[in-house]
A = this chain, B = another copy of it.
Amino acid sequence: MDRLRYAMVGGGPRSFIGPVHRMAIRMDDLADLVDGCYSHADDWRAMLARVRGRADFIAVCTPNDSHFEIAKAALLAGFDVMCEKPLSLSPAEAEDLAKTAAGTGRILAVPFTYSGFPMVKLARDLVAKGELGAVCKAVLEYQQGSFRKIDFTKPLDRRNAWKMDPSRSGPSCVVADIGVHGFHLLEYVTGLETRSLLADLSSFAPGNRLDDDASILMRFEGGAKASMVVSKVATGEENGVRLRVYGDKASLFWNQESPNYLSVKYPFEPERTYKRRAPYMAGTSERAERCSRIPAGHHEGFIEAFANIYSEFCAAVRDRRAHDFPGPREGLRTMRFVEAALRSNASGNTWAEL
C-alpha cells in the first residue's frame, strides 16, 4: 500500500498544535510530511501548487482568520484537508467549506481532539446502546487558567498575540477556542443536536478585549438540556474538561485529566469504572477498542487521542468511506454554536436558535 503524504500550513515548531499534528501522524506512521509552510513569509498558495500530486492531504494550523481561505483553496486544489478549529470565522464560511468539500468530493476534517479519546468513544457507544436510558441533562466544564499567566496590558508573545486580536482570531475567544471542543463533545457523546442556547460571556482578564469566560445553557432536540461552563480565567486549572451525562437509567462521567477511565453510575448498582483496553472493552465499544495501542494500565494521552482523529481521517482518505472523525457537519455546527453564543450574549442573554 502506498504511503500517505501530507503538507502543512502554519503550526511551526514553536506553536502548540503544529507539533502535535506531526507527532500524532508519525506515532502511528500514518503519513509522511512532504512540505510545510510555517511562517507568514512563506507563500502557502505556492506550496499548494508545489505539492500537487505529491500530497494526499493538507493540515491547516494557521491562526483562525486564514482557516477558511486556505482550507477552501486546498479543497479546490484537490486535497483532502484537516483544518484546525474553529473551522472559520463565521457559520457562512463554514457552510461554504462544507459545500466546497461536498462539491469537490474532498474530505474535510476538524480535529476536535476530545472525541478522539477512547473513553469518549465508549461514552458515545454506551449512550447509543441505551445504557444510560433517555438522556435528560448534561454538564460540561472546560476550565483553563491560561489567561492568569498572561499580562494582557503588555505586548503579548507571538503565540498569544493573534488569539487576543479580534481581527485575527474572530469575534470570540473562549467560545471559539475551547467552547467548540465542549460543544462537540456534548453532541458527540449524547448523539443529540442542540436546538438553542443562552449564553452569558465575560471578559475578566484585565486588558483582554474578548470573551474569556462563558456560562451557557443549552437545549437539545427532544427536551434534554445542558449546562456548560468554559473559561480561560479559571485560575490554576490546566485543561479541566469534565463531562457528565445523565440519563434516566444511568449517568456517566469523564475527566480529561484522567482520560483512560470512564465511570458510570446507577441508581441501584455500584458505580462502574471502565478502563481503556480492558478485556470487556472489545465487546462494549469497537470504536474505542480499535483506537487503543497498548494494554490497560499503560496510559495513552492527548497525542494518542489526536492520532486517533488522524487515523480515522486517514482511513477515509484511503477508502473514501465514512469513519469516526469530525467533518464538515461538525465544523459547521460548532461555528453556529459560536455565532449563537455571541448573539445570545449581545441580546441580553436570551435564547438563540442554532
How many residues on A have C-beta within 8 angstroms of the other chain's C-beta atoms?
83
Chain B residues positioned under 8 Å from A132 (CB to CB): 235
Kindly state whether residue A272 has any CB partner on chain B within 8 Å.
yes
B213 touches A237 (CB 8 A): no
Interface residue from B202, B237, B348 paired with A225 (Cβ < 8 Å): B202
Chain B hits for A86, CB < 8 A: none
Give the complex CA separation of A272 and B275 in angstroms.
12
Residue of B nearest to A273 (CB): B271
* A234 cross-chain contacts in B, Cβ below 8 A: 137, 244, 246, 251
Please report the C-alpha to C-alpha distance between residue A305 and residue B275 in the assembled complex, in whole angstroms.
20
Contacts A225-B202, A238-B295, A272-B272 given; indicate if A279 touches B149 (C-beta within 8 A): yes
Tell me how far the C-beta of A220 lies from the nearest C-beta in chain B, rounded to whole angstroms: 12
In this complex, the member of A141, A143, A265 whose beta carbon has the largest number of chain B beta carbons within 10 angstroms is A265
Return chain B residues, CB-CB under 8 Å to A248: 148, 204, 233, 235
Q: Which of B136, B238, B260, B279 contacts A278 (CB 8 A)?
A: B238
| A198: chain B residues within 8 A (beta carbon) | 198, 200, 349
* Central interface residue in A239, A268, A297, A349, by most chain B CB within 10 Å: A297
A36–B237 Cα gap in the complex (Å)? 45
Of B149, B257, B297, which is within 8 A of A297 by CB?
Answer: B257
Q: Among the listed B213, B250, B280, B350, which residue makes an inter-chain contact with A270, where contact means beta carbons less than 8 Å apart?
A: B280
Whole-angstrom distance between the alpha carbons of A271 and B4 in the complex?
Answer: 40
Q: Nearest Cβ distance between residue A178 and chain B, in whole angstroms?
A: 11
What's the minimum C-beta distance from A187 to chain B, rounded to whole angstroms?
18
Q: Assembly of this chain: how many copies?
A: 4
Give the complex CA separation of A26 and B33 in angstroms: 13
Q: Which residues of B contact A237 (CB under 8 A)?
A: 251, 265, 297
Residue A191 lies at the interface, judged by CB distance under 8 Å to chain B: no
Query: Which of A144, A227, A279 counts the most B-chain CB atoms under 10 A from its CB?
Result: A227
Within 8 A of B (CB), among A209-248: 213, 215, 217, 225, 227, 229, 231, 233-240, 244, 246-248
Distance between A199 CB and nearest chain B CB, rounded to angstroms: 9
Partner of A301, one of B23, B240, B300, B348: B300
Could you tell me the distance in whole angstroms from the C-beta of A289 to the nearest C-beta in chain B?
14
Q: Which residues of the other chain, B, contact A22 by a CB distance below 8 angstroms?
A: 29
A296 proximity list for chain B (CB < 8 A)? 238-239
B213 touches A236 (CB 8 A): no
Q: Which residues of A contact B (CB under 8 A)?
A: 16, 19-20, 22-23, 26-29, 132-133, 136-137, 139, 141, 143-145, 148-149, 198, 200, 202, 204, 213, 215, 217, 225, 227, 229, 231, 233-240, 244, 246-251, 256-260, 263-275, 278-280, 293-304, 348-351
Shortest 8 CB-CB contacts between residues of A and residues of B: A236-B265, A238-B297, A239-B297, A299-B301, A270-B272, A298-B302, A27-B27, A301-B301
5 contacts between A and B (CB under 8 A): A23-B293, A137-B204, A236-B250, A236-B265, A256-B297
- In the complex, besides A238-B296, A260-B301, 12 extra interface pairs with C-beta distance below 8 angstroms are A20-B293, A26-B26, A198-B349, A204-B248, A215-B217, A227-B227, A227-B229, A236-B264, A300-B301, A301-B301, A348-B351, A349-B350
